[in-house]
Amino acid sequence: MQRIKTLSEYFKKYELSEKDPESFWSEIADSFTWKKKWDKVLDWDFEKANTKWFQNAKLNITENIFERNLKERGSKTAIIWEPNDPSEPSIHLTYQELYEETCKFSNALRSKGIKKGDRVIIYMPMVPEAAIAMLACARVGAVHSVVFAGFSSTSLADRINDCQAKMVLTSDGNFRGNKTIPVKSVVDEALEKSSTIESVIVLERTKQTINMFEGRDHWWHDCIKEESNVCEAEVLDSEDMLFILYTSGSTGKPKGVVHSSAGYMVYSAYTFLNVFQYDENDIYWCTADVGWITGHSYIVYGPLLCGATTVMFEGIPTFPNVSRFWDIVDKYKINQFYTAPTAIRALQAHGLDPIKNNSLESLKVIGSVGEPINEEAWHWYHDNIGKGNCPLVDTWWQTETGGIMISALAGITPNKPAHASLPLPGIHPVIVDADGNELIGNNVQGNLCIKFPWPSILRTTYGDHQRCINTYFSNYKGMYFTGDGVKRDHDGYLRILGRVDDVINVSGHRMGTAEVENAINEHEEVIESAVVGYPHNIKGEGIYAYVIVNSESSDDIIKAEIIDVVRKVIGPIAKPDKVQIVSGLPKTRSGKIMRRILRKIASNDYGNLGDTSTLLNPNVVEEIIKGAN
């Protein structure tokens, strides 16, 4: 695959992608290995949320990672694994070794009855086996659905049930900083609430005592013991499902975003190579977890398709101390480093001391993802980690987009602090006002839509195509709606402003307010709740919950119980930062909660609450302001 090397080449490619998207994408797709090439590049109808790329082509994504790379890169390191505890040895897996481990595990999956199309849940720590599990599923044509191992048993059960999964891959426990987290027991609990799982494969990691259920549970090492290290790849259709990844929206429970085989492959590889400008001998590190889309596209698939060396880190940035990230950068001489603004802000809060003994001179490119990066964090990252001479790529994209959509190409697109900057070739963003009118020209602000399909656009939401249509393709006719606000500045550069719907972005993780409210409402003494986001110095946004209770307990006790209920129902990432007990919520005469007002109060912005004349109960606003945290 050819990499774009100059700004004028970028503009040329962009123009071609507008004029003749089919030639543009087929030229890129030509550099992959196909069992059979496509009959037609693209077929689409946004009103029905139908998009098909590379129709009738046949392939297996893992043959593009392995067979396509092995001859030249068999002995090249594919994965470097850095354990949670730096005194434990790291692991380096070459492409050949990763291939053999993947084949063995693919055979193990087949031995346990997994076939093409079956859904397999991966609930694992950040260890090489998590990547092997994903690749093995892909090899046998099973659809993986990775669930972040911090989610509760209820969240896990919801996902298992929604996709009717047949198998769970997990570990005995996870190491995270100085904690050991039980994982298998969470799976056991989840399986009490679901009936489709036939078997569980358990990786030994922490060696803690766990229950193994006869006939259902098997050890990973036993499963692969007798298996061959050769495994024929299942032949998949371009549009066959590669994976499902659940993500929060503004309503109801999380949606299973579905990605296809061919389009996702082409786009994740293309964007990895171009955004990070990866060179053959570079060492690349993305700090995400494979439980999120960033881990899928830019730890596993994108880098491995490009034959890159990708680092996987099991731990957290603050263990054993706050220099950990920078120690890892120096240890492996990382060239491209990709992380989230929340991590940058958290480390920035410790000042420059933690980096004074680090050279960081191997770094060539630094990246940001998951939430808007504020200017202060941008400059700190650029000046102190990038030492002022590494391009900073602020990459905007979503679970639904599969790959990076708007970003500078490292070293090619001029950097502009806090701006995601320009769309990738093939991506056609538009800014629309509330009525759906396209805002042309520079110096405009509105909602971000995409008006033309790209290869890794979501194909559906699992089991409910209508929901996919309603969520993404109904707000603005003929366009994909992102849920984000955006500004195009006087130079034509794009700056993402954050969500415009009821989704809160907490430390780069998406949380639907409705989801958190539903969890809070599970507390027996809660009558009603309303959840909003508010600006948070480290997390970007914090979760603020207004709750009406009917309880004899003190407010402190009930608040602690509410936080605990959310932890149990969703997981620790959804815990409210602030809980305020209130006697009522501001509502319109038709009974709708006026979140706009609640958001302002949560942000300490009482001065201008806007029009409150339509409120049914204006007095309650005064009371809420008085009691605000």
Query: How far is residue 135's CA from residue 157's CA, in Å, rounded to a whole number?
Result: 23
- Residue 153 within binding range of ligand WTA, rule CB under 6 A: no
342 binds ligand WTA (CB under 6 A): no
**DSSP state for residue 354 in the 8-state scheme:** G
> What whole-number distance in Å separates Cα of residue 448 and Cα of residue 569?
32
Question: For residue 406, which of 448, 375, 444 has the smallest C-alpha distance?
Answer: 448
Q: How many Cβ atoms are within 10 Å of 143's Cβ, its own excluded? A: 22
* Contact code string over 35-54 relative to ligand WTA, x by CB under 6 A: --------------------
268 lies in the site for ligand WTA, by CB under 6 A: no
Cα–Cα distance, 415 to 394 (Å, whole number): 9
Specify the residue for token string 């110096």: 443
The DSSP call for residue 512 is E
Report in angstroms how near the CB of residue 483 gets to ligand WTA at its nearest.
5
* Residue 414 CB, nearest approach to ligand WTA (Å): 17
Does 447 interact with ligand WTA (rule: CB under 6 A)? no
Query: Are the C-beta atoms of residues 238 and 25 closer than 8 Å to each other?
Result: no
Is residue 26 near ligand WTA by the rule CB under 6 A? no
Of 262, 299, 369, 520, the one binding ligand WTA by CB under 6 A: 369
310 or 368, CB closer to ligand WTA? Answer: 368
Give me the least distance between CB of 308 and ligand WTA, in Å please.
Answer: 19
Measured from the CB of residue 397, what is the shortest distance to ligand WTA in angstroms?
Answer: 5
The nearer residue to ligand WTA, 510 or 575, going by C-beta atoms, is 510
Q: Binding pattern to ligand WTA, positions 457-496, x when CB under 6 A?
A: -------------------------xxx-----------x
**Burial class, 48, CB count within 10 angstroms (exposed 0-12 / middle 13-18 / buried 19+):** exposed
Gyration radius (Cα) of the chain, Å: 24
Measured distance CA(422)–CA(493) in Å, rounded: 6
Q: In the 8-state DSSP scheme, what is residue 574?
A: G
Nearer to ligand WTA, 95 or 272 (CB): 272
**Alpha helix positions (H), 255-349:** 261-276, 293-295, 302-305, 324-332, 341-348
Nearer to ligand WTA, 106 or 368 (CB): 368
Q: Is 512 in the site for ligand WTA (CB under 6 A)?
A: no
Q: How far apart are CA 189 and CA 58, in angstroms?
A: 39
Site residues for ligand WTA, window 279-298 (CB under 6 A)? 292-294
Question: Which one among 371, 515, 517, 541 touches ligand WTA, defined by CB under 6 A?
Answer: 371
Q: Which residue stretch of 153-161, 368-376, 381-389, 461-469 sits at the interface with ligand WTA (rule: CB under 6 A)?
A: 368-376
Query: Any alpha helices (H) in 144-284, and if so which ranges?
Result: 153-163, 184-192, 220-225, 261-276
**Minimum separation from the CB atom of position 154 to ligand WTA (A):** 20
- 48 CB-near residues (< 8 Å, 6+ apart): 469, 473
Sole binder of ligand WTA in the list 52, 104, 382, 499 (CB under 6 A): 499
Which position among 247, 268, 461, 513 is part of the footprint of ligand WTA (CB under 6 A)?
Answer: 247
Binding window for ligand WTA (CB under 6 A); candidates: 388-396, 425-433, 593-601, 619-627 = 388-396
Piece in contact with ligand WTA (CB under 6 A), picked from 209-217, 397-405, 466-474, 613-621: 397-405
- Is the distance from CB of 427 to CB of 28 less than 8 angstroms? no
Q: How far apart are CA 513 and CA 504, in angstroms?
A: 7
Query: Binder to ligand WTA among 336, 395, 447, 471 (CB under 6 A)?
Result: 395
Q: Of 496 and 565, which has the nearer Cβ to ligand WTA?
A: 496
Please tell me the distance from the alpha carbon of residue 133 to that of residue 530, in angstroms, as a whole number. 39
Q: How far apart are CA 278 and CA 54, in angstroms?
A: 26
Q: Does 370 bind ligand WTA (CB under 6 A)?
A: yes
Binding site for ligand WTA (CB under 6 A): 247, 292-294, 368-372, 394-399, 420, 482-484, 496, 498-499, 505, 510
